[in-house]
Structure 1
């Protein structure tokens, strides 16, 4: 039986990647160690859609293998404007923070001391899968403000979780002791900003979902998300799709292709993953210098649908579309902007009361609070 909007049916009581998955590589997602207590779940909104997440000790929230920072979620339903005007967001930065691309196509990382030699080897092989086939690059952190910390979660499983997109200094990937290259490649996809392929709004045209076979509490992993921004058309071969047996409770398939074919565990990037990533993270996207020109860039048009990576001019400024908002690149008449406009400016704190004229840094950008209680994006911070 096919189902839609599954996230309203039951609560998530198992926050792990499912078991009973087979592939020609003998690698599979596994559930977390047994005898774990059922996590306490809370309801939050992600870009206007209600989801149930586990609150972690570090203040992050976990949904399946995806981790959200508090500013990516809201307690109340808000109208998510996918075609917002460049330059302004609501007074609470988190309401529009959503998901951000990595600057310069580069994921900056820190390898935690907890990692084993095998986990390091797996990490580098997964990185190579992305760098050898797409425009994505990796750089070990020196003094960058935005980076992802790769940690050993201590679980004896081929499992992992990752924060969604660029999360400033709070990004992380948590690896199980036996995490394989395929799983790690999948988690890097989340770090790039991608959700699961089976959550896409058009998925029912390509696959059938069988909720009667899904583990109790895991059905929200197969919900339809109208805000999914995975690149390109639906791709049943994507590294970001679950297999036919992920979260199966009875060794029966939870998802099949329309023709009845099983979906195996994917361990390498598909042609769609490669093409889509190179579209969202195009070659030569340096995020500064001579590539940031207003010449030949059309003015923003209200009502027009824009894609991630699109650039527009608006009121004399150049903007680039991110997953959830517009990022200011530069003033159109400014050839050499300051090296770092964020020097001496404190990071945004959601518990601080700000006044008009106050400036904060937030996930690699400088914001100024306007008299109408809306934050104005003042541009990227320098490294």
Structure 2
């Protein structure tokens, strides 16, 4: 077993050995910052006030780790030493789900459109839960747009606050990619070769959201940095004054798509298919 792996009471972390090591997702660098409770006050109010004309995406407004990554405290309490170091992938790329929120027909259409994007372009399959123990529960509490990373074990929520987390199907795609095990593009270890963080424009206390991951914890499966990724934040994310917090450093045609939420980029699709060994 790897030294950073943690034993847990239920099935939050799979046993790491030669056969299962590539099914694990290392969350150890995130530390205690990934734990918390849904924020019904600050984040909920910010997302409620989010206008369609905003340059930011609603998932960039949260008080959570990197804005929209949250592992609820009950998972911390399930660990024996208080630190969740790993999550796992969904076996066979099948993600059982339930929809528990009170969504409008249009919002439900956007959720199902997001599912269909996965079904059409990857081998991931979202299927209605019957008796499966591990599953996602899609809700719309007044706590913003957020998800955990990977499969934690048991019921885990993906929160899509109505209406602003569901104005397009790009935000559901983004949060579901987190649930599959993917992190943000702008936090890749080689990020500084592609974008510069303009710290003078970042809200006080929010610079931690721009910390880089190590190559060990942020595998891109050999796919290069992707300005057009649905997992990349916009150039004004966490801005205190409306000015850019991310400056593109390369003259690349995809740079103008920074923070897009129209759907997958070609590289997003390749990464999903590589992580889940899709044969399509």
TM-score, scaled relative to structure 1: 0.52
When Rg is computed on C-alpha atoms for both structures, the one with the higher figure is 1
Counterpart residue number, 1:29: 57
Structure number with higher strand proportion: 1
Counterpart residue number, 2:171: 183
Structure number with higher helix proportion: 2
Residue of structure 2 aligned with 1:240, choices 218, 231, 235 = 231
Counterpart residue number, 2:218: 228
Instruction: Verify the 8 A CA contact 2:229 2:260 in the aligned structure 1.
Output: no
Residue of structure 2 aligned with 1:112, choices 100, 114, 122 = 100
- Partner of 1:171, secondary structure, is strand
252-261 or 159-168, larger mean C-alpha shift = 252-261
Q: CA deviation at 1:32?
A: 9.2
Q: Where does 1:205-354 land on structure 2 (aligned, <5 Å)?
A: 205-226=193-214, 227-231=217-221, 232-259=223-250, 263-283=258-278
Q: Hey, what's the Cα distance between the residues in 1 that align with 2:229 and 2:268?
A: 6
RMSD (CA atoms): 3.7
Contiguous gaps of at least 5 residues in structure 1: 1-6, 8-12, 40-52, 54-61, 75-90, 286-383
Instruction: Verify the 8 A CA contact 1:100 1:165 in the aligned structure 2.
Output: yes
Q: CA deviation at 1:209?
A: 0.8
Compared CA separation, residues 171 and 134, structure 1 to 2 (3 A): same
CA offsets 1:324-359 (integer angstroms, 9 cap, x no match): xxxxxxxxxxxxxxxxxxxxxxxxxxxxxxxxxxxx
Counterpart residue number, 2:186: 198
- Partner of 1:256, secondary structure, is strand
Counterpart residue number, 1:127: 115
2:70 paired with 1:67:
yes
CA offsets 1:160-186 (integer angstroms, 9 cap, x no match): 111211122231111111223111111
Compared CA separation, residues 268 and 67, structure 1 to 2 (3 A): same
- Partner of 1:208, secondary structure, is strand
- Partner of 2:58, secondary structure, is coil
Contiguous gaps of at least 5 residues in structure 2: 1-30, 32-38
Q: CA deviation at 1:31?
A: 7.3
How many pairs align? Answer: 229
CA offsets 1:239-276 (integer angstroms, 9 cap, x no match): 11101112222121110210375524332111111111
